[in-house]
Structure 1
Amino acid sequence: MPLTLPSLPYDHGALEPFVSATTLKLHHSVHHAGYVDRVNALVRDTNLQGLPLRAIVERSAGDPRQRSLFNNAAQAWNHAFFWRSLHAAGKRNSPSPRLAARIARDLGGQAQLIEQLKSAALSVFGSGWAWLVERDGRLCVETTANADCPITTGAVPGLVIDVWEHAYYLDYQARRADYVSGVLGHLLDWGFAEQNLLAKEAQHA
């Protein structure tokens, strides 16, 4: 079966005033949908047809002959992960004691993590992503350019912020810092981060 565009985990107005309903609808139903459609077209009648999206990303990574496929598949994967990295504005959300302890151990605390994520997001030249990941057993902040994503380099992603211009330009024009501050201060879903980063620990607790 072809890949399908995943539904948003909230309605189009849920991220306002930090991300407008207009931006979210365009971002999801045009940009994200376009990546999914192009992946389906590129894998049609190949041995990748019918595979899960993550498998397509991993199999096409690093292959110059598959660069177009990788770019579209990774962008589709990154966007699906980004939507789940956010929660509706106004929802109270903070790291659990277990996640807070890991953040403190590896990054110095939540305030330090937020500053690192902000610096990373603002440092991306052009288009890309700022991630909280686990790499080699420790939490860290990383950036990727364009469509690249940490699942192809051995890291476990916890949260991500999209800093492609289409994520914020209608609302903020060139004020990326204001967009990033709104996301970091009001929209990050720490429960999703814990699900990604501490799932193995929970299984063995």
Structure 2
Amino acid sequence: MYRVPITRVFAARGVCSHGVRCFTTIPALTYPAELPKLAFDYKEGIKPVISPRQMELHYTKHHKAYVDKLNSLGKGEEGKTIEAIIHSTNGKVDKKVMFNQAAQHFNHSFYWNCLFPGGKPMPKRLEEVLCKQFGNIEKFKQEMQTSAVNNFGSGWTWLCVDPSSKELVILNTSNAECPITKGPRPIFTIDVWEHAYYKDFENRRPDYVNELWGIVNWEYVDQAYERAMSQAE
């Protein structure tokens, strides 16, 4: 089975201004960029896994820095979706800095929406899909954890829908890279940059990844799956 490393943003059908079909978000992430509104109070952390201080640093420092840097670089991009900017700058050496900021804004926004204090229950449909693809939920989690723990350096581990086969795939991306540039539609992600967990877990990435299951917003993941499948048709 194909394995590679993908965010409450919902997928919707759409075509970006550059002509590439986008995995757009509702509400869409647009330029000028701003920190997304969260479904929880970041000052409380994401209990019981992510502390208030870790959340404050990640959301108001790291994520905000990407937003601010993107806004300083994007003159002439007003009104475009962040995905359009990601696609138009992808692979261009002279646009690498802008790509990194836009992609990290997208990645982080997706990540926040995959999480919720105490987690949210997994809908039956998603459970059936995961069991069919991976054998059972524990096997899925183990594969996801293995990919995340072994994702060398900084990056992201994603659960995506492959639009060609309509199967789920687990993908690792490095640094700011995100799957939408290559086609797979994200439905869940794990941030494995050290700044995502170091305040709480130090260098114990396996512990962070294992604990993260306790705060997954499976309702969002299920809705993202539905949208991704509709795009694959």
Asked if Structure 1 and Structure 2 have the same fold, meaning a TM-score greater than 0.5 normalized by the shorter chain, the answer is yes
Give a deviation string over 1:109-154, Cα, whole Å, max 9, x none: 2111110110011011110011111113101211110000011110
1:69-88 paired onto structure 2 within 5 Å: 69-88=98-117
For residue 173 of structure 1, report the CA deviation from its aligned partner: 0.8
The answer to whether structure 1 residue 30 and structure 2 residue 61 are counterparts is yes
Q: In structure 2, how many angstroms separate the alpha carbons of the residues matched to 1:124 and 1:96?
A: 28
Q: Which moved more, 1:133-142 or 1:7-16?
A: 7-16
Unaligned 5+ segments in structure 2 are 1-30
Partner of residue 9, structure 1: 39
Partner of residue 181, structure 1: 210
Tell me if structure 2 keeps the 8 A contact 1:131–1:160.
yes
Give a deviation string over 1:138-184, Cα, whole Å, max 9, x none: 01211110000011110110010101000111111111111111102
Look up the equivalent residue of 1:3 and give its one-letter code: A
Partner of residue 116, structure 1: 143
Tell me if structure 2 keeps the 8 A contact 1:107–1:140.
no
1:82-101 paired onto structure 2 within 5 Å: 82-89=111-118, 91=119, 93-101=120-128
The answer to whether structure 1 residue 151 and structure 2 residue 164 are counterparts is no
Look up the equivalent residue of 1:178 and give its one-letter code: D
Unaligned 5+ segments in structure 1 are none
Partner of residue 19, structure 1: 50
RMSD of the alignment, in Å?
1.7
Partner of residue 133, structure 2: 106
* Count of residues in Structure 1 that have an aligned counterpart in Structure 2: 198
Partner of residue 134, structure 1: 161
Q: Which has the higher helix share?
A: 1
Partner of residue 18, structure 2: none
Partner of residue 87, structure 2: 58
Higher relative contact order (CA 8 A, sep 6+): 2
Partner of residue 197, structure 1: 225
Runs of 4+ in 1 over 6 A off after TM superposition: none
Q: Which moved more, 1:106-115 or 1:157-166?
A: 106-115
Q: In structure 2, how many angstroms separate the alpha carbons of the residues matched to 1:25 and 1:83?
A: 13
Partner of residue 125, structure 1: 152
Tell me if structure 1 keeps the 8 A contact 2:45–2:54.
no
* Percent identity between the two aligned chains: 35
